[in-house]
Amino acid sequence: MKKRRGRPTASKEPMTLPAVLDEAEIMTLQGVARYLHCHYTTVKRLVHAGGLPVFRLGSDSRIMRADLEKWIAAGGGKPYGSAPVKPTRRTG
């Protein structure tokens, strides 16, 4: 008799997280934007610049709340005004 291939049958019990890990401890980029009261694009720019401590989960980025709070306590990256301003190009 051949074994059936395919998806295993689902367990009847709901999947739960371990007691040491709370769902709120791992944040999506959208959740970080809400937490920081800024736009999602700003968070993505910080991630791509290497400013935010992220880890990858498949193709998505996630941030641990504790790491985010440490980042904020350390000044949240560069102090305001420390980055050189790129001049705008004038046309006309």
CATH number for the domain harbouring residue 46: 1.10.10
Give the pLDDT score at 28.
92
- 43 is a domain residue: yes
- 36 is a domain residue: yes
Rounded to 5°, the CA angle 55-56-61 comes to: 85
Q: Kindly report the backbone phi and psi dihedral angles of residue 89, in degrees, each rounded to the nearest multiple of 5, phi listed first.
A: -90, 125
In the chain, % of residues over pLDDT 70: 57
- 54 is a domain residue: yes
Q: What is the rounded average pLDDT of the residues 15-32? A: 72
Which residues span the domain enclosing 57?
24-73
This prediction's pTM: 0.58
CA distances 6 to 3, 10, 14, 50, Å, are 10, 12, 21, 40
Tens-place pLDDT, residues 38-82: 999 999 998 888 888 888 888 888 999 988 998 888 887 665 555
